[in-house]
Chain A
Amino acid sequence: MQILLINHNGGGFADHITIPDGTTVTKLFDDRVGGDPADFLIRVNRQPVAADEQLREGDRISITPVRIEGAV
């Protein structure tokens, strides 16, 4: 199935990707980003969701780091 993944970790790209049916939020995060999910704001269709939430066709997932360092 196809979903829209907006990955702000490392620059931020937004693209449609194909993932297997039944993929959970955690599985997608581990495959595409890695690390501790607590270090990210993860939103599915603009809402916070449980880690074991199964993704559906057309979902929009955004992953934004909690720590983003500003700099002069």
Chain B
Amino acid sequence: MIAGRPAFLLPPYEDMPMPSNPFRRNALRAALAIHHHLHESHLCPRSIVLPASAWQQCTTLAQKLDTALRHDRPLAAERLHRRLQTDLARLRSRLPGEAPERRPRVASAVDIFRDLEALRSEFPDVVIHRRSRKLLVTTPAITIQHIHLGPFQMELDWTELPDPECYRVTALEPNPAGCEPGIHHPHVQDDRLCEGEARPMIAKALAQGRLLDFFLIIAQTLQTYNSGSAYAQLSEWEGSPCIDCGARVGEEAEISCADCGGIVCSECSIACRSCDCLYCSSCSEQIDSCTDCRRETCPDCACRCTSCQRQVCPKCLENQLCEECKREAQTPEETITTDRDKAGTTDAA
């Protein structure tokens, strides 16, 4: 509704026939609403929008980094430090600059309507949610360097136009990076695309209401891999990092620590020689060596000699005694028996 009348009854649209196709009808109403919003937003002076959410993200990461350093977890600290650097760069890029001198030319409602129609021939799924004022456009499944990333949904909130942060990008069939489980695309973090080269194109397309161009630009950016500046490298996508050394561990070679469940590589894992359970270096601190044979024994397998209370492995325990106590228990009887035998023999003689 605009000035109390449905928008499609206002000039120059009053003669435009209402489409019979539901999508087209929805697209026409959405186009009118989007055009009205853009037109109004460019007429009124815009308030300065500070990147509060980006700032909060950096604050949270800095706190996590501090915690990781205090608890002496260098691998975690390194990952957090990288993420913080990335988010700080993004924060700096989101700081508002000077206001543009010229008002951009806004696409007409007819152009916006034609853009919405054309989206259906470019993308497999296009949904117009008039109630929530959102456009949901799904890309085809994306595969880059044999890594299947799946389709992504691009969600545009048209009430936020032309703010460059008016959209989100979400993985519909997530295949997260093994090295960074929260990353579903090399250039997407927390549903935010790191635009790089696309930034000025996106800003202009949004400012002018060229929605087809906007979605095509996003889609092409998602299809492109920039190894020099990615949240996670595709070369490290598959498999998980060893929690001890950080090396990539393929799915077939994954070892799960029997205590904490963390993924550890074969070189870093430490085994209990009695039950063959495998542990990471942190959890292996509870593994002791058998005092007799020196083999690693976990607390579940360790036994105690009932005589000296020393901890031994099951193989070194016999009749509840360790080797040494067993020997001590046997030796005095043998000595006495021998002496008696000798005495008997002498007497006989």
Residue ID in chain A nearest B222 by CB atoms: A70
Residue in B121, B200, B216, B226 whose beta carbon sits within 8 Å of that of A69 in the complex? B226
Q: Decide yes or no whether B197 CB sits under 8 A from chain A.
A: yes
* Segment at the interface with B among A4-12, A17-25, A30-38: A4-12
B226 contacts A70, CB within 8 Å? yes
Instruction: Determine which of A11, A46, A66, A72 lies in contact with B201 in the assembled complex, contact meaning CB atoms within 8 Å.
Output: A11
The proximity string for B residues 248-274 relative to A, scoring 1 for CB distances below 8 Å and 0 otherwise, is 000000000000000000000000000
Q: Which residues of A contact B36 (CB under 8 A)?
A: none
Chain A: CB-nearest residue to B226: A69
Residues 208-237 of chain B: 1 if any A CB is under 8 Å from the residue's CB, otherwise 0?
Answer: 101011001100111110101111000000
> Does residue B193 face the partner (Cβ distance < 8 Å to A)?
yes
Is A64 an interface residue when CB atoms closer than 8 A count as contact? yes
User: Are the C-beta atoms of B197 and A70 separated by less than 8 Å?
Assistant: yes
Give complex CA distance A66, B224 in Å: 8
Given the interface pairs A11-B201, A13-B204, A46-B115, the reply to whether A72 lies near B86 with Cβ below 8 Å is yes
Q: How many chain A residues touch B (Cβ–Cβ < 8 Å)? A: 20
Residues of A within 8 A of B223 (CB): 66-67
- Report whether B187 and A71 are in contact in the complex, using a CB–CB cutoff of 8 Å: yes
Q: Which of A64, A66, A70 is in CB contact (< 8 Å) with B195?
A: A70
* Most A-side CB within 10 Å, residue of B118, B197, B221, B228: B197
B197 touches A68 (CB 8 A): yes
Interface of B is mostly: helix
One of B105, B204, B205, B221 near A68 (C-beta < 8 A) = B221
In the complex, which of the residues B121, B204, B210, B224 contacts A70, with contact meaning CB atoms closer than 8 Å? B224
Q: Write out the residue numbers on chain B whose beta carbons fall within 8 Å of the beta carbon of A8.
A: 201, 213, 217
**How far apart are B159's CB and chain A's nearest CB, in angstroms?**
23
Q: In chain B, what residue has the closest Cβ to A72?
A: B86
- B220 close to A66 (CB less than 8 A): yes
A14 within 8 A of B: yes
Binding site for A on B (CB under 8 A): 86, 89-90, 105, 114-115, 118, 121, 186-187, 193-198, 200-201, 204-205, 208, 210, 212-213, 216-217, 220-224, 226, 228-231
> A interface vs B, CB < 8 Å?
6, 8, 11-14, 41, 43, 46-47, 62, 64-72
Can you pick out 19 interface pairs between chain A and chain B where the beta carbons lie within 8 Å of each other? A6-B210, A6-B213, A12-B205, A12-B217, A14-B208, A41-B220, A46-B212, A62-B216, A64-B201, A64-B216, A64-B217, A64-B220, A67-B224, A68-B196, A70-B193, A70-B229, A71-B187, A72-B196, A72-B230
